[in-house]
Amino acid sequence: MKLKKDMRREQMLDVAMQIVRGQGADELTLGTLAAKAGVSRPIAYGHFSTRSGLLLALFKRLEENYVHRLRSALCEAPKELTAVADIISKAYFNCLADFGPEGLAISAALKGTEEMAAQQRLMIRAYIDLMCNALRPFSELEVGHIHPVCVGLLGAAEALASETQTGAISERVATAVLAALIIKGVASEPSKVG
């Protein structure tokens, strides 16, 4: 069945994710994808060019889904700091759970590539901007201080995530700690931040 180009791309990304889930990221090649998706190799190469391009497209898809869900949750959230901090914290750790082993496998397969490094920088900037915009209405910080605070909060989130992945702390505890750090971080008096 002939699909429109964007629909074919989505179909191939669905199949690629199934391959990663079932067989691991190492088994994902453009040739394997073409065979499993029922398309010719030139079609797969036309959409993704390289294996890294395919892996990056999968990673972007996971990331865009996460950002969309976080934005939606923030739009529906009560306009109070505790609720917003809880949503940001829960979304961060739910994202890690949703990424699952396949998300981590995709990220690991792309480690060290310039494309992945650039994408991770974009993702971090976008996430920090999203946090700043969500938290700014509740902050007592000067305008220029909320950005570095959010950078620090993201660093704390990454450290907590690392501890949850090793089993050192539970996801429930990590989520509560991150929410508390968010509340304390943005509610500080400007004079306390320097």
pLDDT for the residue 193: 45
For residues 129 and 35, give the distance between their C-alpha atoms in angstroms, rounded to a whole number: 40
Report which of residues 186 and 116 the model is more confident about.
186
Residue 100's φ and ψ, nearest 5 degrees, are 60, -170
| The two three-digit tokens of residue 155, written as one number | 């660093």
Which has more pLDDT, 100 or 24? Answer: 24
59-193 placed in CATH 1.10.357: yes
Condensed to tens digits (0 to 9), the pLDDT of residues 89-133 reads 999 888 777 776 677 778 777 777 788 788 888 888 998 999 999
Mean model confidence pLDDT for the chain: 88
User: DSSP string of 86-141?
Assistant: HHHHHHHHHHHHHHHHHHHHHHHHHTT-HHHHHHHHHHHHHHHHHHHHHHGGG--S
- Classify residue 27 by its DSSP letter: G
- Domain regions of the chain by residue span: 1-49, 59-193
Would you say residue 194 has pLDDT above 50?
no
Contact 161/174 with Cβ under 8 angstroms? yes
What contacts 24+ positions apart, CB below 8 Å, involve 81-86?
A: 81/135, 81/138, 81/183, 81/186, 81/187, 82/179, 82/183, 84/134, 84/135, 84/138, 84/182, 85/135, 85/179, 85/180, 85/182, 85/183, 86/179
Is residue 139's pLDDT more than 80? Answer: yes
pTM, two decimal places: 0.76
pLDDT for 168 beyond 80: yes
Instruction: Indicate the CATH number for domain 1-49.
Output: 1.10.10.60
